[in-house]
Structure 1
Amino acid sequence: MAHEHHNHNHSHGPGHHHHHAGENIKVAFFLNFGFTILELVGGLMINSVAILSDALHDLGDSLSLGLAWYFEKVAKKDRDKEFTFGYKRFSLLGAIINSVILLVGSGFILSEAIPRILHPEPVNAPGMIGFAILGIVVNGAAVLRLKSGDSLNERVVRLHLLEDVLGWVAVLVGGIVLYFFDLPVIDPLLSIGITIYVLYNVVQNLRHGLKIMLQGTPANVNLDEVKTKLVQLPSVQAVHDLHIWTMDGTYNILTLHAVVPNHTSLAEAEVIKQQVRTAMADMDISHVTIELELPSEECSHEGCEPAI
């Protein structure tokens, strides 16, 4: 007779990251939004279109941060009848939306920077230097705040802020050069280089997020190693119909069928399940669903497949 078990083995390792994620993003949001307001006022005061353009970009970042903050809060909700696996994937949704926003923002920056290579515009060098230093300090503080975060959402938000830090470094270098030399083409060249770097990282994060949404095998779990570890357990003769996916990049889920010896008692079955839970916890798998089968039984699921 098959024994079915649905285990809710909640790991406090990698899956425990959401505790501080929302707080980190909240701090980053207020830092970024406050600086955006300062940029708008300062840009108008020194009559700098470059600063105002960056303020527009930072405003988009602030909206993305606010969205990420909201989704991190939603992700902490307990599971219910509507979402039986819980709300962890809402954090992932925020990361994907933010990646798309960053792609659009990067396209906007490129559309502004490329024409300026052909037609350089005069820049207020002292104003650039002053705002660049302030921008590096404010956005750098926000990046450091998110440095320890390991959720996909935090990584994407950190990328938003890192783009700003690198952008302000470019503005600072460009401002210093422009203060001494009349070479306005330097600023758009630096901006294009930074934007290409950021775009590369955004595409990587977006691919990672989409793989999670499509229930791909988690990057930190090796399917062959999982199967090997399972069949090495004393009472597990074989495993099949093995599936691994992740809710948000850290909370990993496993379902499997395990073949056990004939005449396995209920007490022995419970021991086997506990052995599987322990072995999988060591491999960063937080939630395990096991169905035990005897050698004489056929797989009870239609379309049952052997392990890959």
Structure 2
Amino acid sequence: MGHHHHHHDHSNGNIRTAFFLNFFFTIIEIIGGLLTNSMAILSDALHDLGDSLSLGLAWFLEKYSKKGHDEKYSFGYRRFSLLAALINSVVLVIGSVFILTEAVPRLLNPESPNAAGMILLAVLGIVVNGAAVVKMKDGESMNAKVISWHLLEDVLGWVAVLIVSIVLFFVDLPILDPLLSIGITLYILYNVIMNLKKTMELFLERVPDGIQLDDIKQRIEQIDNVLSIHHTHLWSLDGEHHAFSTHIIVPDHMQKDDVCTIKSQVNKIIRDIHLDHVTIEIEYESEECSVNQVHHH
């Protein structure tokens, strides 16, 4: 256990370093974007801001969601990561809309950005985000994987800015800057919308991706001595940690051992899913299920 725990702190430290790297750099970018008069750099700054926000929230929540359950939150704090994702999405949507309102008018009367300054910032961007990617590369958790993917995206964004700024340095084509800016911003918006959709589905307790609930139900119903099942629910706390509950009706003559056998078979069926909470309610045929008296199924 000690080893595992140590490993986790290590990944958390990486998230923290990546966060500070990214956050300070985002501030430099925003100032740089304003000084070089480049919309492309500003939209890349927004992209990086989004990533530093999710890094910061990931770092904070990685600590927070480990708190386990208490009196107030009996399921623990895993859901807080969904809240973080939601906040992050809102920030990015507002930022994107702002950048689009600035960049679109510039298509009609483009202003020349300072190409030399852009080149400098882009090189810096590639170096800083590259360093963050390397730092996050060995992360194990889903969190860390998502983050290193985001950071890699940032590097590619900066490569695009670098290419455009080199072209602008030699050719006077100021329209390239707002074009790139709009491209980056639309890409950000697309990702935000996809993430929002996932987040909302988890909030609404949708069955987690890649799990066939009907298939699980059928397999449970095929177990010896299982007459039928109802109130079967499978939901997710944060996209990684799931919970499952079901009511199983068995014949009246079942002994304790038989019931234990059924439970262990159900556990076998759902073993492949990463379940944090499993509730199996056993009811006898002649016993009126208390839940059934309330809602007639």
Name the structure 2 match of 1:105: 95
Highest RCO, 1 vs 2 (Cα 8 Å, sep ≥ 6): 1
Distance 2:152 2:95 in 1: 14
- Render the CA deviation track for 1:249-286: whole Å, top value 9, x for unaligned: 01111111112232212232222212212221223333
The structure 1 residue matched to 2:38, chosen from 11, 35, 50, is 50
Where does the alignment leave 5 or more consecutive residues of structure 1 unmatched?
1-16
Q: CA RMSD in A?
A: 3.0
Counterpart of 1:220 in structure 2: which amino acid? G
- Call closer, same or farther: CA 1:153–1:212 in 2, change over 3 Å: farther
In the alignment, what sits opposite 1:116? 106
- Among candidates 18, 29, 47, match of residue 19 of structure 2: 29
Matches within 5 A, 1:87-102: 87-102=77-92
Alignment length (residue pairs): 287
For residue 179 of structure 1, the aligned residue among 165, 169, 188 is: 169
Q: 2: CA distance between counterparts of 1:18 and 1:99? A: 26
Aligned to 1:286, what secondary structure does the other structure show?
A: strand
Residue number in structure 1 paired with 2:240:
250
**Which residue of 247, 264, 268 maps to 2:254?**
264
Work out the CA distance in 1 between the residues paired with 2:14 and 2:290.
Answer: 47
Kindly state the Cα deviation for residue 37 of structure 1 after the two structures are TM-superposed. 4.8
**TM-score, normalized by length of structure 1?**
0.81
**1: CA distance, partners of 2:151 / 2:99:** 15
2:68 to 78, 82, 93: 78
Residue by residue over 1:31-71, the C-alpha shift from the partner in whole angstroms, topping out at 9 and shown as x without a partner, is 20232354467668xx4233884696345654453233222
Given candidates 263, 268, 283, the residue that maps to 1:293 is 283
- 2:129 counterpart residue number: 139
CA contact (8 A) 2:43 2:185 kept: no
Of residues 227-236 and 96-105 in structure 1, the stretch that sits farther from structure 2 once superposed is 227-236
Say if 2:225 is the partner of 1:235: yes
> Which of 119, 126, 145 lines up with 1:129 in the alignment?
119
Q: Whole-Å Cα distance in 1 between the matches of residues 214 and 19 of structure 2? A: 42
The question of whether the paired residues in 1 share the 8 Å contact of 2:110 and 2:174 is answered with yes
Distance 1:292 1:20 in 2: 43
Quote the residue 2:4 is aligned against.
Answer: none
* Equivalent residue letter for 2:225: S
Q: Which amino acid aligns with 2:167?
A: V
> What is the Cα deviation at residue 223 of structure 1?
1.1
Deviations 1:60-115 (A, max 9, x none): 65445323322222111010111111111111211111111111122122122112
Residue among 186, 194, 197 paired with 1:204 = 194
Counterpart AA for 1:34: F
Q: Any idea what the Cα deviations from partners look like across 1:208-245, whole Å, max 9, x if unmatched? A: 11111111111121111111221232332321111111
Distance 2:228 2:9 in 1: 38
Maintained 8 Å contact 1:18/1:151: no
**Partner residue, 2:183:** 193
Equivalent pair of 1:68/1:98 in contact (CA under 8 Å)? no
**In the alignment, which residue of structure 2 is the partner of 1:13?**
none
More helix by share: 2
Is the alpha carbon distance of 1:61 and 1:125 closer, same or farther for their aligned partners in structure 2, counting shifts above 3 Å? same
Name the SS of the counterpart of 1:293 in structure 2. strand
